[in-house]
Structure 1
């Protein structure tokens, strides 16, 4: 098996088990791969067999034919897994070992992707320990090769794959890999403000989409002049900042988007850890006789929020770069415009929640920031309704273009 490309944080990860401040064993749907489903159904272990009968069922949803979600693990009424013990560890793991776990349970929070012939592993920020490793490193994220782990990488599981059904043409894949490299270079261009970087990313995606959608398009190499022009553009940060300053902010609409998210999440499947953040943000931004919601947002942003993030923009940079690598952005699914909307709006919601939490807590620290980003990622990554509702809200009354998403990039 060939070496695997990983971000520099990947080899450092180790599950903290019962010490974890969250649990990956509750409040979401857990798919069971076909092989594990049949093993569980045939199991005769005196402790586990009754639980397998109770908790494991055939997946009857639309993706039931998918090998990785052949079965599903039903949760208890309180949202916890039937196999979670009092010590927060897994009974299947305790009695049968790690090899008996389903792909979902054994691999989380890992993403096992394939781009062309290259296997790429990474971690998602919906796990607290992974979030700390990913987000709190002040150095730009780098990539390295490592030997595969047989226990992890020998499993026939792929999170995202591009192309979907084959390895693609090596020459075309090489150009598209250059495309990804330029995207990451833009997000890590620290001579630019974070908002300006995302503005440039939007322009790049727009130009790339024009190339690929052209009637005369024949080869990915047609994208190379576009990539070269954007690399050259990064050497003129002052001009790009002037251009970004012309983007009109719309904080009232941003607060409407945030309020809708808070309402939906509190009424839905938000975890207790995320609800704590939502309630703090709502209370921190709630209007009072002395100040409106807009005024409280502005005060907290200019004071508590800016004081913490003035020298920590790398937290958001790392979040964005990690979203690019875990999701094979922008190739895995959807239009470039919708993927850009999703990336930008999720960041904007995180920033808005942090402003609200900072107002309530009278400041921020690394632990609270990790809690907000990790618990939001857990909610949004595993809740398809969140994305659908978010995109619907952003499309409402807006023109269908990259420029008309960029108001989200202005924080105040």
Structure 2
């Protein structure tokens, strides 16, 4: 099995008791895989009996109820099951979280989810472009079906998209706009299963001059209209979209946009862009994360436009949260605060399928997604 992973993957270590947002205290119901459940049922003993009593079945899957947090968490914030039975006998999801994987036959991709504060720290403090490395492991090929030719074409396109996301010859906002202008052509070729056209698009996207032409054209398109009005409308629509979602914590309040706050944010755009320029790698890495994690799924669902635009949406949402705090306080939120906001955005939106569906529905139903997002992208640069 060939495994692809970002260069910071092996640097992750759970901070355990030092974590300010312990995932074992979330109250989420945790799926228990069949092998782990069988061990609990067969092993016996007081702990395994208590584990089985806390596990219920729903739609053929088994979950451990955790209302108020995992009942097997020790007073010092560690896993009592792991302490007594060993890491090999906790559920797969408990052992692997926040890692994620995607399989295509004898090829596998691995990554780390931004919902974890330590992962958000690793991602936001990674100042050089993210590199992706391959290694060989001893694992049986996956048997889920996929079209190998489509997979190769999607993977190749994604490499170019990530390369654009990390092209520091452009501002991060120009890169976001460039990606938006690619979405329709990529989506049409994929929907038609035209791998030759996908290869052609991939080849064009690798050319620096072609990238520059797209950025210049995007700027001309935006400048031909009322940039201020487009930025105002775009900011309203971005925050309105995220304010429709359901949140466990207080993040939703940060997306509740009054006219006064909106105007302050627009007025602070230029100063924010200047003060945040040294930290553009944070948004770059967020963008790369979403492209890497989700675009490859287009191999099976052909939803290239939704995958691409949603990566832009999530990146602009993170930037919008930073901008709001700058507009309110007159200074950039510090690194710890930015890490917290990104982690919360991931946990509350990315890891909630209903909330992500709101973004996907907006992309599918709106005819001007590209122009709206580009209006936001160039608001701080023009």
For Structure 1 versus Structure 2, the TM-score category normalised by the shorter chain is 0.7 to 0.9
- Give the structure with the larger helix fraction: 2
Residue number in structure 2 paired with 1:367: 336
Q: Secondary structure at the match of 1:311?
A: helix
1:235 aligns with 2:209: yes
Aligned CA distance change for structure 1 residues 222 and 141 (closer, same or farther; 3 Å): same
Residue number in structure 1 paired with 2:201: 226
Q: Secondary structure at the match of 2:114?
A: coil
Q: Deviations over 1:322-353 (max 9, x none)?
A: 12222225435462222233222222222212
1:394 Cα deviation after fit: 5.2
When the two chains are superposed, the root-mean-square deviation of aligned CA atoms in Å is: 3.0
Question: 1:190, 1:85 → 2: CA distance?
Answer: 46
What are the equivalent positions in structure 2 for 1:315-334 lying under 5 Å apart?
315-327=282-294, 328=296, 330-331=298-299, 333=301
1:386 Cα deviation after fit: 0.7
Q: Which residue, out of 83, 93, 98, partners 1:104?
A: 93
Question: 2:321, 2:134 → 1: CA distance?
Answer: 36
What are the equivalent positions in structure 2 for 1:52-67 lying under 5 Å apart?
52-53=52-53, 55-60=54-59, 64=60
Aligned length: 370
Residue number in structure 2 paired with 1:306: 273
1:297 Cα deviation after fit: 1.1
Question: 1:332, 1:411 → 2: CA distance?
Answer: 35
Residue number in structure 1 paired with 2:170: 192
Q: Secondary structure at the match of 2:39?
A: helix
Aligned CA distance change for structure 1 residues 255 and 28 (closer, same or farther; 3 Å): farther
Q: Say if 1:56 and 1:71, in contact at 8 Å, map to a contact too.
A: yes
Q: Say if 2:32 and 2:92, in contact at 8 Å, map to a contact too.
A: yes
Q: Secondary structure at the match of 2:126?
A: coil
Q: Say if 1:175 and 1:220, in contact at 8 Å, map to a contact too.
A: yes
TM-score (norm: length of structure 1): 0.79
Question: 1:301, 1:188 → 2: CA distance?
Answer: 22
Residue number in structure 2 paired with 1:258: 239
Residue number in structure 2 paired with 1:166: 145
Q: Say if 1:337 and 1:401, in contact at 8 Å, map to a contact too.
A: no
After the TM superposition, list the runs of 4 or more consecutive aligned residues in structure 1 that deviate by more than 4 angstroms.
Answer: 277-282, 393-396, 400-405
Aligned CA distance change for structure 1 residues 361 and 92 (closer, same or farther; 3 Å): farther
Question: 1:257, 1:236 → 2: CA distance?
Answer: 29
Question: 2:49, 2:9 → 1: CA distance?
Answer: 35
Q: Secondary structure at the match of 1:312?
A: helix
1:378 Cα deviation after fit: 1.0
